[in-house]
């Protein structure tokens, strides 16, 4: 019978030649020895052992549970050459190199300036939220588009797909410690795993403005006014974009006439929101599955095709809440001076289940792009999270579609890098002196690009042109001895010697 080597010796021998052997394997050699020589051992396949000995798997799991590092796998194979990675960002996401970052900064600046013009305060929320915050109604697209997972504490979490639920959570958390109305805005990154089209990505930034505590349509009128102010600010007019406006109460009144159960309302809204995105035959089938009769379906589709309040009044009568709210909104639009931007469209319902009243969408009048923005009233959202309901409305405005629209209209701004001064030493020994000059100017609030290496003047002038520098400041030995520097105004070519303590 051949001699059986002691596995511990085998491991130690292996470690003699390979000093990087995993410490986890060394720590388990005793259990492996017991497993090999136990008479009740069942099998070595998969590193399983009898109940009388500890398995490698259970020991590794213990390491995970206690937070210790350790692995039962072999050490990673070291390669002499690094493997080339895919340099593109994950599908549906973006990098922001300097040119794109300048555009994003410009866009966000306009979002913020308009929000502040209207008296709103900025808030923000975690990008990672509880998954339960977004699991509201079956059938919502958003359920299937979540980036969600279980964290190490066995909690179900998700990257936020929108900002309104986070806002609702914060309002509930603050309770009566805040006075109403709340006028809050946020600019945040959102994530949805969805089919990508022009202006639609899997991550985007969204500008939200919300008013909490105002039950009247004056709140919606103010929000629409703020978006129009933004459009005007970036060069868009009513001939470029407009707003389609309706009310979910229109839908409620039609469904009530045909005794459609109230708990089917949200589902019907989600189906209706797909009009124009899927064939009408599929819309009809989906409505049938929502317990609607053929007569009710045809009546509903007829109402949804209406494009004027006068026609809606003929259909529903003059006494309903839906018509009253819509008339008030259009009347306020005239007072604000933006009625030409609005049009009634009964098919607008929005795809999120929490909307309860007025809803609106900003659209490209040429019809080349998807909705630019959208919002409405959501008076019953807080109670879905266990809070007390408050009247509320708001909108979400994505960054991707508006950039596409500005490209389409040739309205993208020129946002070149601009630095006020470029400072350069003419001698390597004067690099410290150049640093001192840069510090003086920066302390006076000016931007300075300090040339950090000994470069020829030709290179410095090219650099100055690329960064659109206003002045070139040269630190030369003769001037420095006199406590002066050479200052060249690049737009005129004028050059002066200026005392260091007189630099402005």
pLDDT in tens, 50-66: 333 333 333 334 443 44
- Provide the sign of the torsion angle of the four alpha carbons 224, 225, 226, 228, taken in this order: positive
Domain 98-409 falls under CATH 3.30.930.10: yes
Q: Are 383 and 172 in contact (CB under 8 A)?
A: no
142-191 pLDDT, tens digit each:
778 899 999 999 999 999 999 999 999 999 999 999 999 999 999 999 99
Q: Which residue ranges make up the annotated binding site?
A: 162-164, 192, 206, 210, 350, 354-355
- Mean of pLDDT values over 119-138: 89
pLDDT at 137: 55
Partner residues linked to 185 by β-bridges: 122, 209
Q: How far is Cα 191 from Cα 202, in angstroms, rounded to an integer?
A: 6
pLDDT tier, 294 (very low <50, low <70, confident <90, very high otherwise)? confident
Can you give the three-state secondary structure of 200-250, one letter per residue? ECCEEEEEEEEEECCCCCHHHHHHHHHHHHHHHHCCCCCCCEEEEEEEHHH
Structure tokens at 353: 């289940």
Best CA proximity match to 420, nearest among 489, 502, 500, 498: 489
Structure tokens at 60: 């590794």
194-231 pLDDT, tens digit each:
876 776 778 999 999 999 999 999 999 999 999 999 99
* pLDDT for 454 beyond 70: yes
Task: Give the phi and the psi of residue 228 in degrees, each rounded to 5.
Answer: -65, -40
Q: How far is Cα 50 from Cα 36, in angstroms, rounded to an integer?
A: 10
Best CA proximity match to 158, nearest among 138, 136, 174: 136
Q: Are 157 and 129 in contact (CB under 8 A)?
A: yes
* pLDDT for 430 beyond 60: yes
Q: Is 159 helix (H, G, I), strand (E, B) or coil?
A: strand
pLDDT at 14: 39
pLDDT tier, 75 (very low <50, low <70, confident <90, very high otherwise)? low
Q: Is the peptide bond before 181 cis (omega within 30 degrees of 0)?
A: yes
pLDDT tier, 49 (very low <50, low <70, confident <90, very high otherwise)? very low
* pLDDT for 260 beyond 90: no
Q: How far is Cα 297 from Cα 303, in angstroms, rounded to an integer?
A: 10
Q: Which residue ranges make up the annotated binding site for L-histidine?
A: 162-164, 192, 206, 210, 350, 354-355
pLDDT tier, 79 (very low <50, low <70, confident <90, very high otherwise)? low
Residue with tokens 């929502």: 290
Best CA proximity match to 448, nearest among 416, 421, 472: 421
Distances, alpha carbon 297 to alpha carbons 18, 246, 307, 421, in Å: 75, 19, 18, 68
Q: How far is Cα 214 from Cα 491, in angstroms, rounded to an integer?
A: 54
CB atoms within 10 A of CB 228: 24
Partner residues linked to 398 by β-bridges: 206
Q: Which CATH architecture has domain 419-502?
A: 3-Layer(aba) Sandwich (3.40)
pLDDT tier, 136 (very low <50, low <70, confident <90, very high otherwise)? low
pLDDT at 289: 84
CB atoms within 10 A of CB 100: 13
Count of CA atoms in the C-beta half-sphere (13 A) of 352? 26
pLDDT at 258: 78
pLDDT tier, 23 (very low <50, low <70, confident <90, very high otherwise)? very low
Distances, alpha carbon 274 to alpha carbons 198, 227, 279, 283, 439, in Å: 18, 25, 9, 7, 59
Higher pLDDT among residues 501 and 265, named by residue: 501
Structure tokens at 472: 């070139």
Percent of the chain clearing pLDDT 90 (strictly above): 61
Partner residues linked to 190 by β-bridges: 204
Q: How far is Cα 144 from Cα 146, in angstroms, rounded to an integer?
A: 6
Higher pLDDT among residues 53 and 6, named by residue: 6
Q: How far is Cα 306 from Cα 301, in angstroms, rounded to an integer?
A: 9
Best CA proximity match to 197, nearest among 413, 371, 374: 371
- Mean of pLDDT values over 114-137: 92
All structural domains of the chain with their residue ranges: 98-409, 419-502
* pLDDT for 40 beyond 50: no
Q: How far is Cα 417 from Cα 465, in angstroms, rounded to an integer?
A: 10
Q: Mean pLDDT for the chain?
A: 84
pLDDT at 81: 66
Enter the DSSP assignment of 141.
H
pLDDT at 265: 79
* pLDDT for 316 beyond 70: yes
**Per mean pLDDT, which range of 45-59, 164-178, 307-321, 369-383 is the poorest?**
45-59
- Mean of pLDDT values over 376-388: 92
pLDDT at 278: 84
Q: How far is Cα 111 from Cα 120, in angstroms, rounded to an integer?
A: 11
Letter string b/e over residues 114-133, b meaning 16 or more CB atoms within 10 A of that residue's CB: bbeeeebeebeeeeebbbeb
CB atoms within 10 A of CB 73: 9
Distance of alpha carbon 293 from the chain centroid? 40
Best CA proximity match to 135, nearest among 144, 126, 127: 144
pLDDT tier, 370 (very low <50, low <70, confident <90, very high otherwise)? confident
- Mean of pLDDT values over 331-343: 98
Q: How far is Cα 284 from Cα 292, in angstroms, rounded to an integer?
A: 9
* pLDDT for 499 beyond 90: yes
């Amino acid at each position: 019978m051949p001699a059986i080597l002691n596995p511990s010796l085998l491991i130690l021998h292996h470690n003699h030649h390979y000093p990087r052997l995993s410490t986890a394997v060394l720590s388990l050699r005793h259990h492996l020895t017991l497993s090999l020589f136990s008479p009740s051992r069942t099998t070595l396949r998969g590193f399983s052992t009898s109940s009388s000995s500890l398995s490698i798997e259970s020991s590794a799991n213990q390491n995970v549970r206690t937070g210790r590092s350790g692995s039962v796998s072999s050490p990673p194979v070291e390669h002499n050459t690094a493997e080339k990675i895919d340099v593109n960002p994950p599908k549906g996401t973006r990098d922001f190199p300097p040119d794109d970052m300048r555009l994003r900064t410009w866009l966000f600046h306009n979002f913020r300036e308009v929000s502040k013009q209207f008296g709103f305060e900025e808030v923000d929320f975690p990008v990672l939220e509880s998954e339960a915050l977004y699991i509201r109604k079956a059938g919502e697209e958003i359920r299937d588009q979540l980036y969600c997972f279980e964290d190490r504490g066995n909690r179900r979490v998700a990257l936020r797909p929108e900002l309104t639920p986070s806002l609702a959570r914060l309002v509930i958390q603050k309770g009566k410690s805040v006075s109403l109305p709340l006028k809050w805005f946020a600019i945040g990154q959102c994530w949805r795993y969805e089919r990508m089209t022009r202006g639609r990505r899997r991550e985007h930034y969204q500008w939200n403005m919300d008013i909490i505590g105002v039950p009247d349509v004056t709140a919606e009128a103010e929000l629409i006014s703020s978006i129009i102010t933004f459009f005007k600010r970036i060069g868009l007019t009513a001939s470029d974009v407009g707003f389609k406006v309706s009310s979910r109460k229109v839908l409620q009144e039609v469904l009530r006439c045909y005794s459609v159960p109230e708990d089917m309302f949200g589902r019907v809204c989600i189906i209706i929101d797909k009009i124009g995105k899927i064939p009408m035959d599929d819309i009809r089938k989906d409505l049938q599955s929502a317990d609607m009769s053929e007569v009710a379906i045809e009546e509903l589709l007829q109402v949804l095709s209406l494009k004027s309040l006068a026609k809606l009044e003929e259909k529903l009568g003059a006494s309903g809440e839906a018509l009253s709210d819509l008339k008030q909104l259009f009347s306020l639009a005239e007072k604000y001076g933006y009625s030409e931007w609005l049009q009634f469209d009964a098919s607008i319902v929005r795809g999120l289940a929490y909307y309860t009243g007025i809803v609106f969408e900003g659209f490209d009048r040429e019809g080349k792009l998807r909705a630019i923005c959208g919002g409405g009233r959501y008076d019953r959202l807080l109670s879905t999270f266990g809070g007390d309901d408050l009247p509320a409305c708001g909108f979400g405005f994505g960054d991707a579609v508006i950039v596409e629209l500005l490209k389409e209209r040739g309205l993208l701004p020129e946002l070149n890098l601009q630095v006020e001064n470029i400072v350069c030493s003419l001698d390597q020994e004067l690099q410290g002196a150049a640093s001192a000059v840069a510090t003086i100017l920066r302390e006076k609030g000016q931007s300075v690009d300090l040339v950090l290496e000994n470069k020829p003047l030709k290179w410095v002038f090219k650099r100055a042109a690329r960064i659109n520098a206003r002045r070139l400041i040269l630190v030369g030995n003769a001037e420095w001895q006199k406590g002066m520097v050479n200052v060249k105004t690049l737009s005129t070519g004028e050059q002066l010697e200026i005392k260091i303590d007189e630099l402005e």
